[in-house]
Structure 1
Amino acid sequence: MLVVEEKAALRARALAHRDGLDAVYREEASRRIADRILAMTGRFRDGPVSVFWPIRSEVETRPLMERLAAAGKELALPVVRKPRLIFHAWKPGEPLRTTGFGLSQPLAVAPEVVPATMLVPLAAFDRWCNRIGYGAAYYDSTIAALSERTPPLTIGLGFSTQRVERVPIEEHDRPLDIVVTEDHVFVRGEDRP
């Protein structure tokens, strides 16, 4: 099986597991993930924190954004500018516009910023902090471009059910520094079962 096909199969399976989570469990698990993220803000790099607006059954990040802003963190949301993402400053309560794929993005007048820490969505991940996204490689290409100057701290947010045994890697794939679930914090370089 080709790597692309293997990743597509893993993505479909992991998303089906995530979509199948009970709404009450998803809400509670998202709160626990937020608690873990807030407990590690001392590890964040100085500068803006990019967060993602949740779509489908992703980790619910809106309460986390409120709590990060209340803790004094400068937030940013991604905007697709092919072949990668750019980030615009955003504060909870500021207007957003909805685009294709159901994404909510800051208005174009919001200042563009470079995130020092990135909270990243994922479809699947492994214990080595490799991730599978939705297949467009926006985050991989963005992380690679930002890393040419000052690498951001990259933290994936997902549910334990999205963990797979091994994510097949392609040349363009970028591992995350950390993956946070409701049950565990996986740190790249720390071999954890």
Structure 2
Amino acid sequence: MHASPSKAELRALALAKRDALSDEQRATAAEALAKRGAPFEITQGMIISGYAPIRSEIDPAPLMKKLAEKGARLALPCINARGQSLTFRSWSPQDRLMLGPLGIPEPSPAAAEVHPDVMLVPLAAFDKLGHRIGYGAGYYDYTFAHLRKAKHVIGVGVAFAAQETKAIPALSHDVPLDYVLTERKTFDFRSS
């Protein structure tokens, strides 16, 4: 019997696949994903947080622009200490970003703090049940747990199709996603 691969092994495999994609493949994938749009209804003023892509993450900007055109208000996360929830600040595509503490672009501290209704979440890997592997710091798990005490927040993983993996060993604190969007397919996990 082979032991199931660990989260660290699954993360490394999925990131290697993601890193292997060409710039052209990435750009095409981001546009294809945006073209398909969101699998949920966009209501006027709904707050949708995205992320500034780092390393080889799929760029959610084309999708975010499309959501904004439909009336959504956009936000981006700001990182606080490890083990704390992310803070979200209002952002629109023409706003300049600043480098945050981990070298990730963030909105200015002067931008209004908001509480998202929908979070677009980067990930290393995801499976058919909506489990995600992040980068190990747990920021998004803490954030979902924190925000969901106050209201339902829809969690939407954004990924390349190449990042799908067989089965992720889920721990009790791992928060499954409601959807995962890739350039090929929309996965809806709400009924499972």
Same fold per superposition (TM over 0.5): yes
Deviation at 1:115, TM superposition (A): 0.1
- Asked if 2 retains the 8 angstrom alpha-carbon contact of 1:140 and 1:173, the reply is yes
- Asked if 2 retains the 8 angstrom alpha-carbon contact of 1:51 and 1:61, the reply is yes
Deviation at 1:85, TM superposition (A): 0.4
Gaps in structure 2 of 5+ consecutive residues? none
Alignment correspondent of 1:6: 6
**What is the distance in 2 between the residues matched to 1:103 and 1:112?**
18
1:171 aligns with 2:148: no
**What is the distance in 1 between the residues matched to 2:61 and 2:22?**
19
Deviation at 1:190, TM superposition (A): 5.2
Instruction: Give secondary structure in 2 for the equivalent of 1:42.
Output: coil
TM-score, length-scaled by structure 1: 0.90
In structure 1, give the amino acid aligned to 2:55: R
- Do the aligned partners of residues 2 and 26 (structure 1) sit closer, same or farther apart at CA in structure 2, a change above 3 Å counting? same
**What is the distance in 1 between the residues matched to 2:43 and 2:137?**
26
Instruction: Report 1:23-172 matches (<5 A).
Output: 23-38=23-38, 40-42=39-41, 47-82=46-81, 83-172=84-173
Query: 1:165-192, CA deviations, whole angstroms, 9 ceiling, x for partnerless residues?
Result: 001111211000000111111111556x
Alignment correspondent of 1:186: 187
- Asked if 2 retains the 8 angstrom alpha-carbon contact of 1:55 and 1:102, the reply is no
In structure 1, give the amino acid aligned to 2:117: A
Sequence identity (%):
40
| Number of equivalent positions | 189
**What is the distance in 2 between the residues matched to 1:189 and 1:29?**
24
Deviation at 1:2, TM superposition (A): 9.5
Q: Moved runs in structure 1, 4+ residues, more than 4 A?
A: 43-46
Deviation at 1:43, TM superposition (A): 5.8
Deviation at 1:41, TM superposition (A): 4.7
- Asked if 1 retains the 8 angstrom alpha-carbon contact of 2:124 and 2:163, the reply is yes
Instruction: Give secondary structure in 2 for the equivalent of 1:81.
Output: coil
Alignment correspondent of 2:19: 19
Alignment RMSD, CA only? 2.2
**What is the distance in 1 between the residues matched to 2:70 and 2:44?**
15
Query: 1:107-142, CA deviations, whole angstroms, 9 ceiling, x for partnerless residues?
Result: 000010000011110100001110001110100110
Deviation at 1:44, TM superposition (A): 6.7
- Asked if 2 retains the 8 angstrom alpha-carbon contact of 1:45 and 1:116, the reply is no
Instruction: Give secondary structure in 2 for the equivalent of 1:154.
Output: strand
- Asked if 1 retains the 8 angstrom alpha-carbon contact of 2:78 and 2:87, the reply is yes
